[in-house]
Each structure stands twice: as C-alpha cells, then as structure tokens.
Amino acid sequence: MDKMEVTMKGKTLIALLVVVLVLGSLMLACQPAAAPAPAPAPAPAPAPAAPTVEATNVKFGTHEHAGDYGPMFGDAFKELVGEMSGGKITTQVFPLGTLGDCAEVIELTQSGELQLTASCASWQSGFIKENNIFSLDYMLPSNQDALLWILRESDTAKKLEGLFRDNGFQYMGGSHIGWLWRTADKPMYTLEDWKDFKMRVMASPILIADYKALGANVTPLPFGEVYTGLQTGLIEGQENPLSTAIHMKFYEVQQYITQYYHRPFLYTHIANPDWWDSLNAETQRVIMLAFQKADEYAMGVYEQRNIDGLTELPQLRPDIVLYKMTPEELVPFKEAAKKAWDVYLDPDVGGPRAQEILDSLQKDIAIAESKFGK
C-alpha cells in the first residue's frame, strides 16, 4: 500500500467519525426534555370552624299566673332550648306577680332586665301604638293558619318588626290562644243589653273604643284583680278565651258566657334588642327554633283546653249558659265595631303609621284567606 492510499483511508475514517458524532448529537437533541419534578402540593386550608352556641342565661317574663299560657310557654322554652343548646342556654321564668304587672314586664324587657317576654298584643299597644290594630273587633281572619301567617310571615309582620325596633324591642312573631268569649251576670245578646254595662278591659285605647262603640261603661283593670272585681260588682263582665275563664274560675261569679267571634286573644312576642344583637347567628337560630316549638306546644294545649271547656263548664256549674251568637245576631255588632276602626287612625291612638299598617294588614288578610281560607 502506497503512502497516498493510506492517506485517503485516514481521511475517510475521520469523515465517518464526524458523521457519527453529528448524527448522535441530532438524535440526542430530538429526545424529549425530562419533565421537571412536580411541585409539592399546597397544604389544605383549615376547615372553617362550625358555628357554636354561646352560653347565655335568659330571663323570660310573662304577665300571667303559673299554669297559664305565658308560664307554660316559658317552661317549655326552658326545657327545649336547654336540650338544643347542650345546656349552654339556661332560662329563668318569671310569672305574674314576681316582677310586676303586665306593663312593668314589658318595660323590663325594653330595659334589658328581662330578655324575652310572652306578652299579649293589647298591652304592648302602650309602647307601640300601631300594635293597637290587633285589638280591633271583626278585623282578623278566623282561620288559624291564615292568622299565624299574618303574624309571622306577611309584609305586615315585617313592618311590625321595624316598628318594634324603633321602640326598643325585637319582634319575635305572634300567636294566639283562642277566640275570646265574653262573660256576664246576665244575658247579653243585643246592643241594648250593652248599654252602660260595666265591662273590664285592658288599659288599651282601642279596647276601650271597642266597648264604647257597644254602649258599655268601660273599666280598665289589671288581670289579677278581675275575679275580685266581678265578685264585688266593680265590673259586670270580662273577655278571655274559654280556658282562661275556667282556670281563673270566673264561672263562679259569671253565669252567662257568650261567643261573639269578635277577636282572637293575640300575643306578639318580644325580646330585648341589645341582648338579641349580642348573640351570634347560631345562638339566635337555636333560641328562635326553641321559641317557636314552645309556642306551638302552648297553643296546642290551649286549643284542647278550649275544646274541653265546652263540656267541662256545665259540670263545674250546672246552670251555666254557653251561647254562640248567630251570623244574623252579629250584624249590628259588626256595624258598631267600625266606629273603633276610625279611632285607630288617630295618630295619637294608632301611631303615625296607622294608615300604612291598616292598608298593609287588609292586603295581607286577602292574601292569607286566598292561601288558607277564611
């Protein structure tokens, strides 16, 4: 092999090496890049703490005696809210006589010395004038579902909540314990019978107007003094649900008990607003739920009491006279009642928003009766 041939073979080998190196580089360049290592997963956010009930003691006031609606309501609430809160919410119940009369119990709720009160709507009208509307005769529907919807869910109820706030109360809804019966010591079936009749009422301007419209001689008197007033002749009659007439033994001094279908005995429940606002949402929820359940329980007891009273009263007093007015007999009473409706619109009686509340209530009554019946 000559020198030229050796040189040519060397050059060929070098060229082949260069090609191999280039091809290898190209192959490496075409390989996919290695994926970067995954970033560590972020730590999970802590779950929000479940809302809890706060510990609080509730002072529950009422204007009635032990065994009546208010204390019964309060005792049921005490048990229910204690169970539902795991013992964190405790309750003291103060019936009539322990802290004062009806007006004083309402004042104590307004000032914060009491937190909750089961109080009748008529007594509250001295603090919230617009609330007098619930004392007008022949205004509200007789259907219970319609009535409770008006007190708890209607536009009127929302307006009342604002009015109560403006006057230092938290509105907690409403209920009733039955339609009122009027008791007397003689038959009272015509308007003539009511002329100068000495009728006991609460100290409410509308209730006074209701009975003045019938021609009665009106005597405001605290509830605790009614029996003695009937017994001594200071008053000749009073109105209450049938169960109350039995519980208070009014039948011992009143022989005639008459149903005029004029008005249910209403409660519009209240709380102290500063106390209510100080509670967290879960505590408010538990209190309101227990409050509503206790209310339903007490209403149910009274409904049965009123039914039982129709058979119980003749056993307690055989000469008792129970009478239900006919639609025809009620016509003149309904006409006379409208005089008190005009009194309500006086701002000194029904407050500055009396017309607004009256219009709202009449609208809501129509809606409620279409939903639930009359």
Range with the lowest mean pLDDT among 65-69, 73-77, 147-151, 208-212? Answer: 65-69
- 8 pLDDT more than 80: no
For the chain, the C-alpha Rg in angstroms (whole number) is: 38
CA distances from 257 to 94, 233, 253, 290 (A): 31, 17, 11, 35
Mean pLDDT on 103-123: 91
In 3-state terms, what secondary structure has residue 305? Answer: helix
pLDDT score for 365: 96
Rounded to whole angstroms, how far apart are CA atoms 282 and 81? 12
Q: Tokens 């204690």 — which residue?
A: 82
Q: Class of 56-372 per CATH? A: alpha beta
pLDDT score for 46: 56
Boundaries of every domain in the chain: 56-372
Mean pLDDT on 140-152: 93
Q: How confident is the model at residue 28 (pLDDT cuts 50, 70, 90)?
A: very low
Question: Please, which residues bridge with residue 9 across strands?
Answer: none
- 313 pLDDT more than 80: yes
Q: Is residue 73 within 8 Å of residue 173, measured between CB atoms?
A: no
pLDDT score for 203: 81
Mean pLDDT on 52-66: 91
Range with the lowest mean pLDDT among 43-52, 152-161, 216-225, 292-301? Answer: 43-52
- 79 pLDDT more than 70: yes
Mean pLDDT on 96-115: 88
- 11: phi then psi, degrees, rounded to nearest 5: -65, -35
Mean pLDDT on 92-115: 89
Q: How confident is the model at residue 34 (pLDDT cuts 50, 70, 90)?
A: very low
Q: How confident is the model at residue 48 (pLDDT cuts 50, 70, 90)?
A: low
354 burial (CB, 10 Å; 0-12 / 13-18 / 19+) is buried
Q: How confident is the model at residue 14 (pLDDT cuts 50, 70, 90)?
A: very low
- 121 pLDDT more than 90: no
Q: What confidence tens digit (pLDDT) does each residue in 285-295 have?
A: 999 999 999 99
pTM of the model: 0.80
- 7 pLDDT more than 60: no
Q: What confidence tens digit (pLDDT) does each residue in 188-234 have?
A: 999 999 999 999 998 888 999 999 999 999 999 988 899 999 999 99
Rounded to whole angstroms, how far apart are CA atoms 56 and 61? 16
